[in-house]
Amino acid sequence: MAQETLDVCSFWGPSNADLRDRADIALALHQGTSPRLFQDDINWDCFIAGRGLIRCNHQPHESQIDAFVSELNPQLGNCWKDIHAFSCLSNMAYQTGGKFSPETYNEMMISILYRLMYLSFPGDKMQTLIQTALLAYCSTVFLIRMYQANPYGRFKDLFSAELFEIFQLTSRSMPGPVNFWLLMIYHVVACDDSCSTEWQTAWLDETISLDREVTWTDASTRLKSVMWVDFVHGAPGMKIFDSATERLGKPRSEH
């Protein structure tokens, strides 16, 4: 990471091209349409994962999650791997004072988000849910300014509907960390105070209770095994987790 030149905390200091790409993506998310740029010559191979930029270890959950990802559509699976690698790189950079260049950051954003948004899985509800969840997650990482200013109401409604349908049918067939991550990302992105008595919160409470997670440290370790950026998701995630453990009558998180 020594060759990089932009502080990881300053990811959101975009160039003109970066702003153009973000605007294209943000508009597509808001309207529920495809982006206008990069429609041709999409490279579906991994852009970050497999380059040896980072070697992360997420035992004891890694093999279980790898098996789940291997069953996804290969193009979607490559997006997952790249987002996971980007998240781990971001956590490492933040912890060590490492840096990304604006060019590197923009290339990662373009590669991941445009591939995700051009995928389509008609009739495959599980793949569609994972695609939507990854987009929701990426909106908090790559589009943070726009994400805060624009609630993407249609996008959140879609995420809610897909999550409800899948969890009614197959949630127990997903690995525990993936199940937990989906619910946590939904709460981080789409939930507000009105969710406190709805099915999303009930399922999150049940998942935490079943997994016997006692501290936020345990929970965040599990979330990182999927994908999680501490300086973006840590504070809202801890708040959501604390609220759940209080409802379950457990002690608050160890900070």
What is the per-residue pLDDT across 204-251, written as a single tens digit (0 to 9) for each? Answer: 998 888 766 568 999 999 999 999 999 999 999 999 999 998 888 876
Give, in order, the Cα–Cα distances in Å from 128 to each of 18, 27, 30, 45, 76. 27, 20, 17, 19, 10
Given a cut of 80, is residue 137 above it in pLDDT?
Answer: yes
Using alpha carbons, select from 4, 36, 43, 42 the residue that is nearest to residue 22: 36
Q: How far is Cα 165 from Cα 14, in angstroms, rounded to an integer?
A: 37
Where do the H-state alpha helices sit in the chain? Answer: 16-31, 62-70, 74-96, 102-118, 125-142, 144-149, 153-170, 176-189, 199-211, 216-226, 230-247
Distance of CA 57 to the CA centre of its chain: 18
Identify which has the larger pLDDT, 108 or 6: 108
With beta carbons less than 8 A apart as the criterion, state whether 84 and 49 touch: yes
pLDDT of residue 87: 94
| Predicted local distance difference test score (pLDDT) of residue 131 | 95
User: How high is the mean pLDDT of the chain?
Assistant: 80
Give CA torsion, residues 208, 60, 233, 3, to 10 deg. Answer: 180
**Residue corresponding to tokens 């349908």:** 165
What is the C-alpha to C-alpha distance for residues 159 and 201, in angstroms, rounded to an integer?
15
The residue ranking higher by pLDDT, 248 or 155, is: 248
CA-CA distance, 206 to 110, in Å (whole number)?
A: 36
> Would you call 195 exposed, middle or buried from its count of C-beta atoms within 10 A (0-12, 13-18, 19+)?
middle
